[in-house]
Chains A and B, each alone.
Chain A
Amino acid sequence: MTLLETPTTSRETAPRHRPGSGLAAGLVVLVGVLLVVCFFSITLGSRGVGVPTIWKAFTDFNPGSASETVIREMRVPRTLIGVFAGAALGLSGVILQGVTRNPLADPGIMGINAGAAAFIVFGIMILGVQGAIGYVWLAFLGAGVATVTVYGIASFGREGATPVKLALAGAAVTAVLTSLTSAIIMTNVDALNELRFWQVGSLAGRYMPVFWQTAPFIALGLVVAMFTGRALNGLALGEDLALALGQRLRLTRLLLFVTVAVLCGAATAACGPIVLVGLIVPHMARFICGPDYRWILPYSLILTPIVLLAADIFGRLVVSPGELQVGVVLGVIGAPAFILLVRYRNLAEL
Chain B
Amino acid sequence: MITVVATDRRTRRRRSSAVTAALVAVAFALFILTMMIGSYYVPAWDVITSAFRLRDEPSVDFVVRDLRLPTATAGVAVGFALGVSGLLFQKLLGNPLASPDFVGISSGASMFAVSAIILFGAGSSMISASALAGALVSAFIIYLLAWRDGISGYRFVLIGIGLSQFMMSIVGYIIARAELYEARQAMTWLVGTVGQAGTTELRVLIAALLVLVPAALVLQRPLRVLELGDDTAKALGAHVELSRLALIGVAIVLIGFATAVAGPIMFVALIAGPIAQRIVGHNGGGIIAAGLVGSIIVLGADLVAHHVVPVDLPTGVITGIIGAPYLIWLLATVNREGRGG
Q: Which residues A316-350 have CB closer than 8 A to chain B? A: 322, 324-325, 327-328, 330-332, 334-336, 338-339, 342-343
A193 interfacial contact with B, CB 8 Å: yes
Q: Is the CB of A199 within 8 A of B172?
A: yes
Q: Which residues B291-334 have CB closer than 8 A to chain A? A: 311, 313-314, 316-317, 319-321, 323-324, 327-328, 331-332, 334
A residues less than 8 Å from B334 (CB atoms): 157
Q: Is the CB of B169 within 8 A of A186?
A: no
A16 to B41, CA, bound (A): 75
B26 interfacial contact with A, CB 8 Å: no
Q: Is the CB of A153 within 8 A of B328?
A: yes
B residues less than 8 Å from A178 (CB atoms): 266, 320
A residues less than 8 Å from B317 (CB atoms): 179, 182-183, 186
Query: A174 — nearest CB in chain B belongs to which residue?
Result: B102
Query: A182 — nearest CB in chain B belongs to which residue?
Result: B191
Q: Is the CB of A164 within 8 A of B176?
A: no
B145 contact from A104, A165, A192, A339, Cβ within 8 A? A339
Binds A, one of B151-159, B209-217, B226-234, B250-258: B151-159
B162 interfacial contact with A, CB 8 Å: yes
A153 and B161 in contact, given A175-B320, A186-B314, A327-B172 (Cβ under 8 angstroms): no
A165 to B102, CA, bound (A): 13
Binds A, one of B50-58, B127-135, B177-185: B177-185
Query: A187 — nearest CB in chain B belongs to which residue?
Result: B311
Q: Is the CB of A167 within 8 A of B335?
A: no
Q: Is the CB of B165 within 8 A of A334?
A: yes
Q: Is the CB of B162 within 8 A of A339?
A: yes
Q: Is the CB of A328 within 8 A of B173?
A: yes
B residues less than 8 Å from A183 (CB atoms): 313, 317, 320-321
Q: Is the CB of B335 within 8 A of A158?
A: yes
Q: How large is the interface on B (under 10, 10 to 19, 20 to 34, 35 or more residues)?
A: 35 or more
B residues less than 8 Å from A156 (CB atoms): 331-332, 335-336
A168 interfacial contact with B, CB 8 Å: yes
B331 contact from A159, A172, A185, A197, Cβ within 8 A? A172
B residues less than 8 Å from A162 (CB atoms): 340-341
A336 to B159, CA, bound (A): 9
Q: Is the CB of A182 within 8 A of B336?
A: no
Query: A272 — nearest CB in chain B belongs to which residue?
Result: B172
A residues less than 8 Å from B331 (CB atoms): 153-154, 156, 165, 168-169, 172
Q: Is the CB of A200 within 8 A of B267?
A: no
B residues less than 8 Å from A342 (CB atoms): 155, 158-159, 162
Q: Is the CB of B341 within 8 A of A196?
A: no
B21 interfacial contact with A, CB 8 Å: no
Q: Is the CB of A332 within 8 A of B166?
A: yes
Q: B142 to chain A: closest CB distance in Å?
A: 9
A residues less than 8 Å from B154 (CB atoms): 164
B residues less than 8 Å from A328 (CB atoms): 169-170, 172-173
B residues less than 8 Å from A192 (CB atoms): 180, 183-184, 187
Q: Is the CB of B340 within 8 A of A179?
A: no
A126 interfacial contact with B, CB 8 Å: no
Q: Is the CB of A325 within 8 A of B335?
A: no
A276 interfacial contact with B, CB 8 Å: yes
Query: B320 — nearest CB in chain A belongs to which residue?
Result: A179
A171 interfacial contact with B, CB 8 Å: yes
A332 to B327, CA, bound (A): 29
A189 to B319, CA, bound (A): 22
B101 interfacial contact with A, CB 8 Å: yes
A221 interfacial contact with B, CB 8 Å: no
Task: Mark interface residues in A131-148 (1 if CB within 8 Å of B CB, else 0).
Answer: 000000000000000000
B residues less than 8 Å from A180 (CB atoms): 320-321, 324
A330 to B169, CA, bound (A): 9
Q: Is the CB of B155 within 8 A of A193?
A: no
Q: Is the CB of B320 within 8 A of A157?
A: no
Q: Which residues B173-216 have CB closer than 8 A to chain A? A: 173, 175-177, 180, 183-184, 187-188, 190-191
The 5 closest A-B pairs by CB, nearest first: A179-B320, A331-B169, A157-B335, A335-B166, A164-B341
Beyond A175-B101, A328-B172, 20 additional contacts (C-beta under 8 Å) are: A156-B335, A157-B340, A165-B331, A171-B102, A172-B327, A175-B327, A176-B327, A178-B320, A182-B314, A186-B314, A189-B184, A327-B169, A328-B170, A331-B172, A332-B169, A334-B165, A334-B166, A335-B165, A342-B158, A343-B159
